With several copies, the nearest count.
Chain A
């Protein structure tokens, strides 16, 4: 369905429900949809499962969402950072659940969700604690772990530019998780620096085609 260009980030996230699984793009601050996260905090949805590479930095953004007690579970690859004190405190207090996923599995599991793959045999993590209890299989002499898709109800993505149809491009390493998350969520909301007229983006260079984008807001 046609993309909606929202006037405000608040409008874009208005219907995120309690208990939703929210995919949040970004790697460090690159590609982090800061305005959308702030709007989500303001909006008030709780009991969320957040899927993101990290578990918040400093006191803003995802860390602020965590600090407000809105997040039941974090699925991420790298929670522990120098400035992840908010998550660290909640985790040690048993107030947030953690599913630790190797970074490549995080990306590939969301890709699988977006691509209709039911599960896949994955080479990463074999023989490690992160594969404990998971199904394994030897294929052509190599052992693989069976991994399942990660789907989101909502994806919050930070990008560079969008056209009015909803085609999206990113900038440099800020591309990171945005394109896969956009494919893996029921509703994808993209924050961009600029909306341009349809036809202004090079069709050969569009990274997230409009079909994956539901709402756009300029941030």
Chain B
């Protein structure tokens, strides 16, 4: 679907949603990845996990539905779908860390050419670190998808040879969805699987990471 315009956040989310197989068990990270839920097709049977102890989480609660005991990992009130189940935190993270989730979708500051992920801490002096479940998610799911803009505001790429930010996980990212291109991180290198509003040549020019044409 290569095209001549960059993707909006919704379009990126739709693209991720299309790559999630029906019936998958999926954890959507806080922030942009949450958008993916809106683009899962009706009847896909995709089951959403939230690490604070629930499977088959439903959409965000509307005003009349808010229940303070029913929130997602971002502490947003959510709803319960038929077939939902609840479990405690150790069981929930055992589920993640034991490799039972099919897909998790995460935001990122940086992804390296070998799939290292940096998404929890800028390392800036004075910044208070907070990690939450990011490190558990990064290493746990069968497939880890990252959604991010390919370039930072100052134009520097976020797909890099080596992460300069503190790592969340080593070699854990499988696929990267950005506004201008999608990438598979493979043992043969970083494969460009699609481009949007950028040419392959411009991409290779702007990234230090060696690319493989998909």
Within B37-71, which residues are at the interface with A (CB < 8 Å)? 45, 47, 49-56, 67-71
- A180: B residues at CB distance < 8 A: 88-90
Assess the A177–B97 pair: CB atoms within 8 A. Answer: no
Measured CA separation A170–B87 after assembly (Å): 10
**Chain A, Cβ-Cβ closest to B78:** A173
Assess the B99–A28 pair: CB atoms within 8 A. Answer: no
A-B contact pairs, 25 of them (CB 8 A): A1-B21, A1-B102, A2-B45, A29-B68, A79-B128, A81-B130, A91-B128, A103-B93, A104-B97, A108-B90, A115-B97, A124-B135, A126-B139, A126-B170, A127-B167, A128-B135, A130-B131, A165-B56, A165-B83, A177-B88, A183-B98, A201-B83, A204-B86, A209-B95, A211-B101
* A123 close to B (CB within 8 Å): yes
Measured CA separation A91–B96 after assembly (Å): 31
* B residues adjacent to A (C-beta < 8 A): 21-25, 45, 47, 49-56, 67-72, 75, 80, 82-90, 92-102, 116, 121, 126-136, 139-140, 166-170
Within A158-175, which residues are at the interface with B (CB < 8 Å)? 160, 163-165, 167, 170-175
Known: A103-B136, A180-B90. A211 touches B97 (CB 8 A): no
Assess the A128–B98 pair: CB atoms within 8 A. Answer: no
Q: How many chain A residues touch B (Cβ–Cβ < 8 Å)?
A: 71
Q: Chain B interface secondary structure, helix, strand, loop or mixed? A: loop
Contact of A27 among B23, B52, B101, B121 (CB under 8 A): B52
Assess the A127–B170 pair: CB atoms within 8 A. Answer: yes
Q: Which of B23, B67, B82, B170 has the most CB of A within 10 A?
A: B82
Assess the A107–B100 pair: CB atoms within 8 A. Answer: no
Contact of B90 among A110, A126, A127, A211 (CB under 8 A): A110
- A164: B residues at CB distance < 8 A: 83
* A179 close to B (CB within 8 Å): yes
Measured CA separation A105–B169 after assembly (Å): 14
Assess the A103–B131 pair: CB atoms within 8 A. Answer: yes
Measured CA separation A127–B52 after assembly (Å): 25
Within A87-140, which residues are at the interface with B (CB < 8 Å)? 87-88, 91-92, 98, 100-108, 110-111, 113-117, 122-130
B118 CB, min distance to chain A CBs, angstroms? 9
- B55: A residues at CB distance < 8 A: 209-211
- B53: A residues at CB distance < 8 A: 27, 173, 175-176
Measured CA separation A79–B132 after assembly (Å): 9
Assess the B133–A103 pair: CB atoms within 8 A. Answer: yes
- A20: B residues at CB distance < 8 A: none
Measured CA separation A128–B70 after assembly (Å): 32
Assess the A211–B49 pair: CB atoms within 8 A. Answer: yes
Measured CA separation A28–B89 after assembly (Å): 13
Within A180-219, which residues are at the interface with B (CB < 8 Å)? 180, 183, 198-199, 201, 203-204, 206-207, 209-212
- B83: A residues at CB distance < 8 A: 163-165, 167, 198-199, 201, 210
Assess the A125–B135 pair: CB atoms within 8 A. Answer: yes
